Chains A and B, each alone.
Chain A
Amino acid sequence: MVQPAASHTTHARLALVALLVGSACGSPPPLDKQLGTLASWTATMQLAKERHGAGAITGTYATQLRDRADEAFQQASTTIGGSARTRADSGYAAAALDSLRGAIRQLEAEIGS
């Protein structure tokens, strides 16, 4: 049965709204994206530790980087479980979280906080 044009328009609007809402506040980010973010912050901590050790950056700035990494860690801790669908996924997630936590601790030891 052919639907009236107004109905098509309504469906299209609903689909667009659903897409926008879904994109804005839907499910947690995919696992690979979260793993990428954790790996990126782990590498940031390692570089910050190296640069602080070489005297290239201040302790104040290194502390700010540590705080941002800690925020990323806290956020991932609450959302990554929802993205891990298999036991292997959960293993990757735990390993990535552990790596970041270790890198944060190493930077803290370097800057003495």
Chain B
Amino acid sequence: MKKWGELALGVVTSIGGFLEVGSIATSAQGGAEFGYQLAWVLLLGTLSLAILMEMTGRLAAVSKRTYADLLRERFGYRFFVLPLVAVFVVSLLVLTSEVGGVSIALQMATGVDFRWWAIPTVLVGWFLLWRGNFSVVEQGTAMLGLVAISFAVGALVLHPTWPTLGRALLPSLPAHDRARYWYLAISMLGASISPYLYLFYSAGAIEDDWTIEHLGVNRITAGLGNVFGGGLAIAALVTAALVLAPRGIKVDRYEQIALVLATPLGRAGFVLFIMTLFITCFGSTLEIVLAIAYLLAQGFGWSWSENLKPGKDARFSTSYTVLILLAALPIVAGMDPLSLTNISMVVTAASLPVTVIPLFVLMNDGDILNTHVNGWASNLALVVIALFSLALLVAALPLQLLGGG
């Protein structure tokens, strides 16, 4: 019975945690500019994330160590600096975008400029981290994040043409604006497969004391949770494709995106959009700041756990305190949250190889995983993800220049 409870909670957490500022913004941009055509990118991103989460979860459950710990131990500190710095920089950018998302949601609700909301947002977030425990962060925000299902309701009310949507799940070339198409594709992939998601998942497995007995829970959580979560991102794309694209509206500012739910669902849709943006971005703010603090603590060998009193892991607690305050500064300074989100997602996509490629080595190490090493199918999937992560690394900067405007 307890297992079923854990399973349900895990799936709900993944669904509620999937949508955040990056996936909402990039899915809406993709749908507004290219209709359903970029749906395949979300499918690819979702499947890739599910595979990476299953592997990092399995690694943690079997070895009782996080992915970051194993990266440092297996490859040495010199190598570890590379993913440490890359993930730190990328995640800090994404964290700032999430704070921007919360601030924009509050601006839409109140009319008070988003810059005023950044500091209150991070102070409330910090208070929850300081006083709460891992369950509060992981499950509380994810449960509330189920409000994102409103995108699925909005998409259904708009009656999408299913055969066309089905065909869009297979890759196709655009008829216009190729650079913009591939730029949005990379942004959407960056939003779907952020390294913090699987680093946080791996650390969460240790926080929740996972063992080999949790491998089934891990597989279903990573699979079902992400498939449902990815489905919500596709729903966001569909609503934008059916509301914004026919009218020729491109998403230049966050404020335009609320119209995608206000059109099919009326005032309820408008309120649900603001709630979705607020809750999912706030939840992601907490998860990302913890993911970075975990990474630093695991990298430098500090004591760490969100379940400990802050005094027991002072360097870990100080890290998340400083990080969450840092993330507010660019928003207070007036940086446009949507531009920041787009840049963050492209940089995130470019950073994938440094965390994906070493995973291949770890997942085939019998000393760490015993009989739970990857089979041929898992290895093939990981090689494919590693190859396209390398392609993203090469293409990200040129496409940012050519298609980012």
Contacts and interface: CB of A to CB of B under 8 A. Distances in A.
Interface of A: 19-20, 23, 29, 33, 36-37, 39-41, 43-44, 46-48, 51, 54-58, 60-61, 63-65, 68, 72
B263 A56 contact: yes
Contact of B263 (A20, A40, A51): A51
A43 B243 CA distance: 11
Most B CB within 10 A of own CB, among A23, A39, A44, A58: A44
A68 B253 contact: yes
Interface stretch (B107-115, B197-205, B216-224, B350-358): B107-115
21 contacts: A19-B401, A29-B405, A36-B248, A37-B252, A40-B250, A43-B248, A44-B256, A48-B259, A54-B266, A55-B266, A55-B267, A56-B267, A56-B270, A57-B262, A58-B270, A60-B109, A61-B108, A61-B270, A64-B107, A68-B252, A68-B253
B268 to A, nearest CB: 9
Return the 9 tightest CB-CB contacts between A and B, nearest first.
Answer: A60-B111, A43-B247, A40-B250, A56-B262, A56-B266, A23-B401, A43-B249, A68-B253, A43-B248
B248 A39 contact: yes
Interface in B210-240: none
Contacts of A33: 405
Interface string B249-281: 110110110110011001101100000000000
Contacts of B267: 55-57
Nearest to B401: A23
A36 to B, nearest CB: 7
Contacts of B249: 40, 43-44, 47
Interface residues of B, number: 24
Interface in B6-54: none
Contacts of B111: 60-61, 63-64
B302 to A, nearest CB: 38
A61 B254 CA distance: 12
A55 B269 CA distance: 11
A47 B247 contact: yes
A60 B405 contact: no
Interface in B369-405: 401, 405
A46 B258 CA distance: 15
A51 B378 CA distance: 48
A35 to B, nearest CB: 11
B403 to A, nearest CB: 11
Contacts of A37: 250, 252
Contacts of A64: 107-108, 111, 255
Given A40-B252, A65-B255, A68-B253, A46 B247 contact: yes
B255 A40 contact: no
Contacts of B258: 57, 61
Contacts of A29: 405
B348 to A, nearest CB: 21
Given A47-B243, A64-B107, 13 more contacts: A33-B405, A36-B250, A40-B249, A43-B247, A46-B247, A47-B249, A47-B263, A54-B266, A57-B262, A57-B267, A58-B270, A61-B111, A68-B253
Given A60-B111, A63-B111, A68 B248 contact: no
A94 to B, nearest CB: 19
A60 B107 CA distance: 9
Nearest to B397: A20
Nearest to B250: A40
